[in-house]
């Protein structure tokens, strides 16, 4: 696969603070790459550097295997932090400026405005838009050049649940077109739902990188509850038990190899307990993320 | 270059403040000579007594005096254009649109270029407006003139162009350094007297350098013409030295702007 972005030993210092610390990263064509990390971990700074709005202290990066230039940025659809447009101009006028900068035809403007559901409001000034509409316009703007790569930094920031769902749907649709997407977010659920790869940053350092699908391959935990006071005793007596915790009105159980929810359920039925709640939990990215962060503190 | 101008112009098309300021500026330029002439006529009609002196015989707005006179006076109005430039540039910083322009694929040098092309257009527009106003005013009011009189002193129009261009570039530089429109306008206004106070207090041994300061360079292009009407000697030509000093700053300011932007994280 071709390399879309390759970052090598990138460092950015603000005085005594190191915002990005010796970061190396490789993103291949067609991946949906989640960049995770707590606030202030250097996600936006890294994206700012590869988009040439922030000067790097040291290190290198390449777009499509070439030294970076404005021509690459014209083929990239990117939004950083908040949606940025001329507030006194309409959506159409704002996108005309973007089209002129990217040197792409303006014919596409109506199409992208329909895609992000803003066509009806296209002649209204940007400053009259709600936050959700502003976010959608910025995604529309990023789509304008029919980009091969999209960079989305916290695209659902400040949105209501409906807005978040809309944006997520949009990202999944875009990803289906085979575009490479770099998504920075601290909403892990979101990254798990749309990304194929992810990396975790902390204090400017990359502390983990891997495939999202590998996260759920790890051990399973099972949630169990039954209206029976013998349940705790029976669970503790079960031969496959590894760990047991009570949390929010249910038992969280992890099992040894060779045991799973089916064998556990059979065991409970054999002991005359019918459960009212039995759920197999695969490991979430959130859990993995917290573990990675915790491990890095040690 | 044309593409960069087009980009910057699109930012203005539906920006009310821009059109208000430009209309105000244009109306001022066009109406001043008529107002002055009509005022002088009115004085005469009212029979104001100036010891048998006819106010219409003072050739303020007649060829060839008109060129130095109107370019000198109109140079004061360039503050309106400077405000247009300051708003245009400071908006890019306060809305952070400069950042998005770069992300979308502009280079920093193109960003500077797009603002410079607007500044060039504003300076050319202002010069053309002043030239046409001078030409029409002269043709209407000058009692008797030779064809050659019309274009005598036309070099003041060229000097006027440099004067406006230098001032607008200076406003651009200040905005890039300060970024806030109100503060920049205030500083632009107080900088000129500050520079004169500073140069007036230079020790004698080095006070010749005063002429090389930017606002001096700008003001030395067109010297005050009016003392000649009370029979004092004036500099009634554009000195080559002042043109060269002005050109130096016209090249220096854009370089300084680019250097500053190149170093900045946007």
The token duo for B118 is: 């607007």
Give the model's pLDDT for residue A290: 79
Residue B53: which pLDDT band, with cuts at 50, 70 and 90? low
The answer to whether A110 and A122 are in contact (CB under 8 A) is: yes
Whether A90 sits inside 8 A of B7 (CB atoms) is no
Whether B102 sits inside 8 A of A74 (CB atoms) is no
Residues of B in contact with A70 (CB under 8 A): 105-107, 110
The answer to whether B1 and A75 are in contact (CB under 8 A) is: no
Residue A248 backbone dihedrals phi, psi, to 5 degrees: 50, 60
**Beta carbon pairs, A and B, within 8 Å:** 76
pLDDT digits (tens, 9 = 90+) for B27-39: 999 998 888 888 8
CB contact A95 to B (< 8 Å): no
SS in 3 state form for B124-188? HHHHHHHHHHHHHHHHHHCCCCCHHHHCCCCHHHHHHHHHHHHHHHHHHHHHHHHCCHHHHHHHH
pLDDT digits (tens, 9 = 90+) for B86-116: 999 999 999 999 999 999 999 999 999 999 9
Indicate the length of chain B as a whole number.
Answer: 266
Give the model's pLDDT for residue B34: 84
CATH 3.40.50.300 domain position(s) in chain A: 3-215
Give the model's pLDDT for residue B93: 96
Peptide bond into B77 cis (omega under 30): no
Question: Which helix (DSSP H) or strand (DSSP E) does residue A36 occupy?
Answer: strand A32-36
Q: How far is B74 from chain A (nearest CA, A)?
A: 31
A-interface mutation test, from B105, B109, B266, most A Cβ less than 10 A away: B105
Give the integer Cα–Cα distance in Å for A289 and A156.
19
The answer to whether A200 and A51 are in contact (CB under 8 A) is: no
Taking 90 as the threshold, does the pLDDT of residue B223 lie above it? no
Angular region, A40: left φ>0, alpha ψ -120 to 50, beta rest: left
Taking 80 as the threshold, does the pLDDT of residue B189 lie above it? yes
Of A79, A93, A141, the CB nearest to B14: A93
Which residues partner with A6 through β-bridges? A26, A62
pLDDT digits (tens, 9 = 90+) for B160-175: 999 999 999 999 999 9
- SS3 at position A102: helix
Of B7, B96, B99, the CB nearest to A97: B7
CATH 3.30.70 domain position(s) in chain A: 221-281
Residue B49: which pLDDT band, with cuts at 50, 70 and 90? low
Question: Which helix (DSSP H) or strand (DSSP E) does residue A22 occupy?
Answer: strand A17-28
Measured N-to-C along each axis, helices B108-141 and B16-45 cross at an angle, to the nearest 10 degrees, of 20
Whether A53 sits inside 8 A of B7 (CB atoms) is no
User: Between residues 5 and 64 of chain B, which touch chain A (CB distance below 8 Å)?
Assistant: 6-7, 10-11, 13-16
Residue A150: which pLDDT band, with cuts at 50, 70 and 90? very high
Residue A252: which pLDDT band, with cuts at 50, 70 and 90? confident
Whether B105 sits inside 8 A of A55 (CB atoms) is no
Of B7, B15, B99, the CB nearest to A100: B7
Taking 80 as the threshold, does the pLDDT of residue A219 lie above it? no
Give the integer Cα–Cα distance in Å for A10 and B63.
67
Q: Looking at the structure, give the CATH architecture of the domain made up of residues A3-215.
A: 3-Layer(aba) Sandwich (3.40)
Residue A150 backbone dihedrals phi, psi, to 5 degrees: -120, 140
Q: How far is B127 from chain A (nearest CA, A)?
A: 28
CATH of the domain spanning A221-281? 3.30.70
Q: From B17, which residue of chain A is nearest by alpha-carbon distance?
A: A88
pLDDT digits (tens, 9 = 90+) for B225-254: 888 777 777 787 888 999 999 999 999 999
Residue B197: which pLDDT band, with cuts at 50, 70 and 90? very high
Whether A53 sits inside 8 A of B266 (CB atoms) is yes
């Amino acid at each position: 696969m071709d390399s879309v972005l390759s970052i090598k030993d990138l460092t950015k210092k603000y005085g005594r603070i190191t915002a990005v610390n010796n970061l190396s990263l490789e993103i291949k064509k067609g991946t949906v790459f989640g960049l995770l990390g707590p606030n202030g971990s250097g996600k936006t700074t890294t994206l700012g550097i590869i988009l040439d709005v922030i000067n790097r202290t040291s290190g290198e990066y390449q777009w499509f295997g070439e030294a970076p230039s404005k021509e690459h940025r014209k083929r990239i659809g990117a939004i950083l932090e908040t949606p940025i447009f001329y507030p006194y101009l309409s959506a159409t006028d704002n996108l005309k400026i973007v089209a002129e900068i990217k040197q792409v035809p303006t014919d596409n403007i109506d199409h992208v405005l329909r895609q992000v559901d803003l066509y009806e409001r296209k002649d209204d000034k940007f400053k009259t838009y709600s936050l959700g509409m502003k976010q959608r316009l910025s995604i529309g703007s990023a789509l304008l050049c029919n980009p091969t790569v999209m960079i989305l930094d916290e695209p659902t920031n400040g949105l209501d649940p409906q807005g978040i769902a809309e944006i997520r749907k949009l990202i999944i649709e875009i990803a289906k077109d085979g575009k490479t997407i770099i998504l920075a977010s601290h909403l892990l659920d979101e990254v798990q739902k749309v990304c194929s790869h992810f990396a975790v940053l902390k204090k400017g350092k990359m502390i983990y990188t891997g495939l999202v699908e590998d996260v759920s391959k790890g051990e399973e935990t099972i949630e169990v509850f039954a209206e029976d006071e013998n349940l705790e005793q029976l669970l503790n007596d079960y031969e496959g038990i590894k760990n047991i915790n009570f949390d929010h009105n249910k038992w969280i159980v992890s099992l040894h190899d060779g045991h799973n929810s089916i064998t556990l359920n059979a065991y409970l039925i054999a002991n005359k307990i019918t459960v009212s709640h039995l759920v197999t939990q695969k490991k979430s990215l959130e859990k993995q993320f917290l573990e990675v962060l915790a491990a890095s503190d040690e | 270059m044309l593409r960069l101008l087009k980009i910057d112009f699109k930012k203005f098309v539906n920006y009310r403040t821009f059109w208000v300021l430009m209309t105000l500026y244009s109306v001022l330029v066009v109406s001043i000579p008529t107002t002055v002439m009509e005022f002088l006529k009115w004085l005469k009609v009212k029979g104001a007594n100036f010891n048998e002196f006819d106010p219409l015989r003072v050739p303020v707005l007649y060829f060839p005096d008109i060129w130095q006179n109107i370019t000198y006076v109109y140079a004061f109005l360039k503050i309106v254009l400077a405000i247009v430039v300051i708003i245009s540039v400071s908006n890019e910083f306060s809305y952070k649109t400069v950042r998005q322009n770069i992300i979308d694929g502009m280079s920093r040098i193109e960003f500077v270029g797009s603002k410079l092309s607007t500044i060039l257009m504003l300076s050319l527009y202002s010069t053309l407006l002043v030239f046409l106003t001078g030409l029409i005013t002269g043709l209407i009011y000058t009692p008797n003139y030779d064809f050659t009189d019309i274009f005598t002193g036309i070099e003041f129009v060229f000097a006027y162009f440099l004067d406006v261009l230098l001032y607008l570039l200076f406003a651009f530089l200040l905005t890039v350094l300060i970024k806030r429109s109100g503060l920049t306008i205030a500083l632009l206004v107080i900088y000129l007297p500050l520079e004169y106070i500073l140069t007036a207090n230079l020790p004698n041994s080095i006070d010749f350098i005063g002429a090389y300061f930017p606002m001096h360079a700008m003001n030395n292009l067109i010297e005050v013409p009016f003392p000649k009407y009370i029979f004092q000697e004036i500099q009634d030509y554009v000195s080559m030295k002042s043109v060269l000093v002005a050109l130096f700053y016209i090249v220096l300011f854009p370089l300084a702007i680019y250097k500053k932007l190149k170093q900045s994280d946007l």
